[in-house]
Structure 1
Amino acid sequence: MYVRHLQVGDFRSWERVDLALQPGPTVLVGRNGEGKTNLVEAVGYLATMGSHRVSGDAPLVRHGASQAVVRAALRRGDRELLVEIEINPGRANRVRVNRAPLQRPRDLLGMVRTVLFAPEDLTLVRGDPTERRRFLDELLVSRTPRLAGVRADYDRVLKQRNALLKTARMARGKAIETLDVWDGHLTDLGGQLLAARLGLVADLAPHLAEAYAGVAGEGAAPAALGYSSTVPAAGDGTALVPGAELPTAAALTTAMRERVAERRGDELDRGMTLVGPHRDDLVIHLGPAPAKGFASHGESWSLALGLKLATFALLRSDGEDPILVLDDVFATLDAERRAALAAVARSAEQTLITAAVLDDVPPELRGARVEVGDGRAVLVREGSPVGEGSAP
């Protein structure tokens, strides 16, 4: 898959961009603050319906505008896919695919696949569990779109159950009976989500081990993955054993229901749900210890890069290359890590790279380039401009 044409309107700093693109590597080059990352952020939005830089949609709309538009023509084998998204902060977004409206915006998830590597990804190793849960769930939905509904339903039930817990302590009686009903909904959805996450971690782990070994070089400690859960049956954080049998969704639902019953008193006291996938964590191991708190800065960078290379390899193994987006990372990597990343980037069907200085990008990736500056984005091929967009 690759983006053949990208249009944005009132997105971030851009009033309008109309840009032709091509397979292979394309470098978006220009000074910091000119809007390079805004353009690849728009491509990422097609895949996740969210931004890797902010949690809400409001910052994505250009100041003074009421909505933003992202439109892309994508090639998928011998087929063309036209995706159009209207971003409406405070209101429902609208999505059309090949001019036909989707009933639910989330139905777009899984149609476009991207893998983004950016400096912010260091938080996957050093940051809070929230970042790693988000990483897992976005990858889950990309591979299995129906899980977007499971995740949305789980979040809705969790919110309603938390509201009930805040009042049930004093109300007791009927409120406790109602809580029993919500427990059933929570544990059924939670068991499905836990089973899906464990399966994903098992699939991703061998790709991480291979990618990290390639990035870190000979003699480096091996990288592995584990899952730490508030439901003991789902994992205690130790590295998964390759080929080990994983618990089923039904078994995890039962285990979660038992754990919720055990923690009922604590939940009533604190007014919040203490058991479930919303409190779990992906544990990245380096040798015998968890990487968080033990890995050096260089090792953390290698693990973050390895995790994204593993993601790319996993999605590729599903039968189609995702679009690879490398946002301002080459300037921060040493020669060995740059070479490992460049090898994958060169092999991808399409790689979009941002850089402040073209010399930061390995020579083999300097194919087409988009010159971004002075409110314009111009695709240059063999010295001739072939398409452009503009900002106010």
Structure 2
Amino acid sequence: MFVRELRLRDFRSWRDIDLTLRPEPTIFVGRNGFGKTNLLEAVYYLANLRSHRVSSDGPLVRSGSSAATVLGTVENTGRELTVQVQINAEGANKATVNGSPSRRARDVLGILRAVMFAPEDLLLVRGDPSDRRRFVDELVAQRGPRWAAARSDYDRVLRQRSALLKTAGAALRRGGSDADSVISTLDVWDGQLADLGGQVTAARIDVLRDLAPHVTASYASIAPHSRPATLAYRAAAGPEVTSPAEGTASAAGIAEILLARLGELRSKEIDRGVSLVGPHRDDIDIVLGDDVAKGFASHGESWSLALALRLGSVELVRAEGVEPVIMLDDVFAELDVQRRAQLVAFTESAEQLLITAAVPDDIPTSIAGRRVSVGVVEDNGGRHSVVLDDVQASEATGNVSASEATGSVSASEATGQTTAGEGTG
């Protein structure tokens, strides 16, 4: 699988760009803040319908614009699909496949499978539970739109139930018909939350069960002298919720557990005005030996675990019969020599590898491929990112010849247009 064409309009720092890509390594080189990562973020968005850096879509729309457009033509075993997503600053996003409108934007999930390695990956080990939930939910969503639909519906029900909990206390104190109405409405929301929560939790546990052996093997190859790494699902509803090691998760069985726990905690939830159990409160334990890695693993062990999670994700997708697009966002600068070598060896078989680097020397010499120089210009439309031609790249890097120093391609080769300044962004 690879992205043959990437077209952006008003996405982040890119006003307008058309990139032709090939099934090979492509390295985007430029100073920090010039827009390299935004290109990888756009590809990531097509695969996940979310950014890997921010939780909302608003920052993805270029300042002064009402919407951003991301288009990608994806080739997979001879089949070609063109996916376009319009990201609106306000209102629902829109998507098309081969020019035909999709009923919902999430219907395009699964067309592109991609795995991103980024410095933020350290948060998967050291960050909050929300970081780990997000990681697993993205793996679930890439399996197809119906999985994303369950999570979207769960979030909607959770918001509505939480709003009711915030007003329930006063209604119960008043008593009478108000209290009866609140109890009756909560019963309905409890049932919906438990049902959807069971589906979301079961899907997560199934993905973790499939992912865990790949992560264990990847970590063992990165840190052969360390203790084994394993994954475990920790549910706020209690240990009786099935873990990946205990077999296939039952959505209906988990829903029953959630419904019972919601009943037990109802008075406490009304007092606090929040929903205390459900997949929005769960966590994924990354375990090293017998200890949970967060707060215990060293910096080196944490990086090895983060890298193993991403390597395991690639192997998970490969096991499903797909070769994902692999993206490395300035990660070589964060890794030591051993981990760099491990990552290089692992990505050698990638059909398409997209890499960013602020310093060209950070890229191991064993990685061949095309290099594209990224810069910024200022005009009446403001400051925006551009692909530099050889002369511009030479001036930006201070080298005599950009083609000799960075191997950068010309703007016309990268974009298929005449010059970098003619609307390519």
TM-score bracket, shorter-length normalisation:
over 0.9
For 1:154-169, what aligned pairs fall within 5 Å after superposition?
A: 154-169=154-169
CA distance in 2, matches of 1:176, 1:121: 43
Q: 1:199 aligns with which of 194, 197, 206?
A: 206
2:61 and 2:87 in contact (8 A); partners too: yes
CA distance in 1, matches of 2:27, 2:347: 11
Aligned AA (1:154):
Y
CA distance in 2, matches of 1:70, 1:384: 22
For 1:107-256, what aligned pairs fall within 5 Å after superposition?
A: 107-171=107-171, 172-216=179-223, 218-235=224-241, 241=245, 244-256=246-258
Report which structure shows greater RCO (CA 8 Å, sep ≥6): 1
1:69 and 1:85 in contact (8 A); partners too: yes
Q: 1:309 aligns with which of 293, 308, 311?
A: 311
Q: Indicate the SS of the match to 2:95.
A: strand
1:302-339 Cα deviation digits (max 9, x unpaired): 11111000001001110011111100000110111111
1:161-208 Cα deviation digits (max 9, x unpaired): 111111222222211111111111111111111111111111111000
Q: Indicate the SS of the match to 2:50.
A: coil
**Structure 2 stretches lacking a partner, 5+ long:** 172-178, 377-384, 391-402
CA distance in 2, matches of 1:142, 1:168: 38
| Greater Rg by CA | 2
* Cα pair distance change 1:233/1:251, threshold 3 Å: farther
1:18-74 Cα deviation digits (max 9, x unpaired): 111110211111121211111111111101111111122221122222211111111
**Structure 1 stretches lacking a partner, 5+ long:** none
1:198 and 1:234 in contact (8 A); partners too: no
Q: CA deviation at 1:368?
A: 1.2
C-alpha RMSD of matched pairs (Å): 1.8
Partner of 2:397 in structure 1? Answer: none
CA distance in 1, matches of 2:249, 2:90: 40
Q: Indicate the SS of the match to 1:110.
A: coil
Q: Indicate the SS of the match to 1:284.
A: strand
Q: Given the alignment of the two structures, is residue 65 of structure 1 paired with residue 72 of structure 2, yes or no? A: no
1:90-147 Cα deviation digits (max 9, x unpaired): 1221111101011111111111111011001111100100111111111101124311
TM-score, normalised with respect to structure 1:
0.94
Q: 1:290 aligns with which of 286, 289, 292?
A: 292
TM-score, normalised with respect to structure 2:
0.87
CA distance in 2, matches of 1:272, 1:297: 35
- Taking only the aligned residue pairs, the percentage that are identical comes to 52
2:30 and 2:358 in contact (8 A); partners too: yes
1:346 and 1:364 in contact (8 A); partners too: no
* Cα pair distance change 1:70/1:144, threshold 3 Å: closer
CA distance in 1, matches of 2:144, 2:7: 27
Q: CA deviation at 1:247?
A: 4.0
1:198-240 Cα deviation digits (max 9, x unpaired): 1111111100000111112x2111100011111224559xx85
